[in-house]
Amino acid sequence: MHLKYTILYVEDVTRTIEFYEQAFGLQRTMIHESGDYGELDTGTTTLSFSSRRLMTELGKSPGTPDPTSPIFEIAFETHDVAAALEKARSAGATVVQEVREEAWGQTTAYVVDNNGFLIEICSPIYGAS
How far apart, in whole angstroms, are the C-alpha atoms of residue 112 and residue 97?
10
Angle at 92 between CA 23 and CA 18, to 5 degrees: 50
Which of the following CATH numbers is that of domain 5-57: 2.40.110.10, 3.30.720.120, 3.40.50.300, 3.40.50.9100?
Answer: 3.30.720.120
Residue 29 exposed, middle or buried by CB count within 10 Å (0-12, 13-18, 19+): middle
This prediction has a pTM of 0.91
Distances (CA, A) of 129 to 18, 56, 106, 123, 126: 34, 41, 14, 14, 8
**Residue 127 confidence class, pLDDT cut points 50, 70, 90:** low
Q: What pLDDT sits at residue 2?
A: 87
Residues 6+ apart with CB under 8 A from 65: 115, 116, 117, 118
Equal fold, 5-57 vs 74-122 = yes
Q: What is the reported pLDDT for 126?
A: 77
Model confidence at 119: pLDDT above 90: yes
Domain 74-122 has CATH 3.30.720.110: yes
Q: What is the mean pLDDT of residues 25-37?
A: 97
User: Residue ranges of the domains in the chain?
Assistant: 5-57, 74-122
- 70 has a pLDDT exceeding 60: yes
Q: What is the mean pLDDT of residues 74-98?
A: 97
